[in-house]
Structures are given as structure tokens and as C-alpha cells.
Amino acid sequence: MMYMAVQAKGGKYFYAWSKILPDGSFYLPDQALQEYQIRPDSNIILMTGRNTAKGFSVLCKELIANSPLAPIFASIPQLQQFAIPEGEPVIVKERTFCWVYLNSKGYFTLPLSTWQQFGLQPGDRLLSLRATHLAFNNLAEGPYIEQAKQLRDILVYE
């Protein structure tokens, strides 16, 4: 079933709300995965954003090479090659990165310590929203959260 993102004032697209489950698992909305050409049943890269202490971005790893992030990733080839342990955070230039396996149902699981590196914990509800051409964001705080709370049409995964 295909659900459309909800467009808010200012043109931002909100995909869905999703809650970090007690076991550390988290659901990524189908539409976001499709738009960013991220396939379930594959490894994905997460990173903290510049402007929030509570949340993370999901990167389209195929686009990294031609992006402003390329020099950062060149300094951590073990991340792109998935050579470090799954879910283990790597900090480069004040950003936290890790890789995880996204299962066929659209869920990934992080250890509690890694969630804490992203400023999050089980029970937190995050808003998935369109960001740049490289990544979509999953945020727990900020101006878009307040805007999204006033919209009724956003799907909720709990």
C-alpha cells in the first residue's frame, strides 16, 4: 500500500511518525525508502545531523561519492565497507555515523548506547521527513516537530 507524504507549510514533506521500540528497533517508512532508492534487506548508513541533537539521517550511500560528504567518508572507508561492527558509532568532525542492516520489513535495530549517541532512547517518537537529495531525516525535536504535531494525516508506526 502506498501512502503519500504530507506536505506542510513551507514545502516540507513529512513521511510518518515512528517510535523506537523497547528492543531498540525502528521502522523506516516505505515511501522514504523508495524515494531515496534504499532497499530493505540491505545495509544502510545513519548519521547525526548538524542542527539537531536528537535524531539521525538515513543516507543514500550511492550518492555519497559526488557529495560534500565524500571527504568525510573517504576518511572512514571501514564504514562504507561495513568493516566495523554493526551499530557501532564512529565520530568524525562532530558527527556520529554507523551502519545497520535494514530488514525486509523496513526495521533496523541499534544498541541502546548507539541510540544515546544520537540523543535518543526507546520510547522516543521521531518524525521522518524529506531533507536533502542525499538523505532523509528522523527527528525528535525542532520546529518541524511542532508543525507536524498539528497535522492529522501523518501515519504513525508504533
- Domain CATH code at residue 75: 3.40.1550
Q: Per-residue pLDDT for the chain (158 aa), expressed as one digit of tens each?
A: 344 556 656 667 889 999 999 999 999 999 999 999 999 999 999 999 766 669 999 998 888 888 888 999 999 999 989 999 999 999 988 889 999 999 999 999 999 999 999 999 999 999 999 988 889 999 998 888 888 888 777 777 87
Single-letter residue type at 103: N
- The answer to whether position 59 is within a domain reads yes
pLDDT of the residue at 62: 83
Question: How many domains are there within the chain?
Answer: 1
The whole domain housing 36 covers 12-157
Picking from 85, 106, 89, the residue whose alpha carbon sits closest to that of residue 48 is: 89
E-only strand ranges, the chain: 6-7, 13-19, 25-27, 42-47, 55-59, 90-92, 95-102, 107-109, 125-130, 135-139, 155-157
Grid cell in block for residue 81: 565497507
pLDDT on residue 2: 41
Residue 134 lies in a domain: yes
Residue at 1 is within a domain: no
pLDDT of residue 9: 62
- 4 part of a folded domain: no
Whole-angstrom Cα distance, residue 85 to residue 102? 15
Which pLDDT does position 156 carry in this prediction?
78
Residue 6 lies in a domain: no
150 within domain boundaries: yes
The answer to whether residues 8 and 64 touch, using CB atoms and an 8 Å cutoff, is no
Residues 68-86 as b or e (16 or more Cβ within 10 Å = b): ebeebbeeeeebbeeeeee
- Can you give the pLDDT at residue 6? 62
- pTM value surpassing 0.85: yes
* Contact of 104 with 41, CB cutoff 8 Å: yes
Position 3 in a domain: no
pLDDT digits (tens, 9 = 90+) for 27-66: 999 999 999 999 999 999 999 976 666 999 999 888 888 8
pLDDT at 66: 86
Neighbours of 8 (CB within 10 A): 16
Residue 96, classified by CB atoms within 10 Å of its CB into exposed (0-12), middle (13-18) or buried (19+), is: middle
Q: Would you say residue 91 lies in a domain?
A: yes
pLDDT of residue 4: 53
Predicted confidence at residue 1, as pLDDT, reads: 38
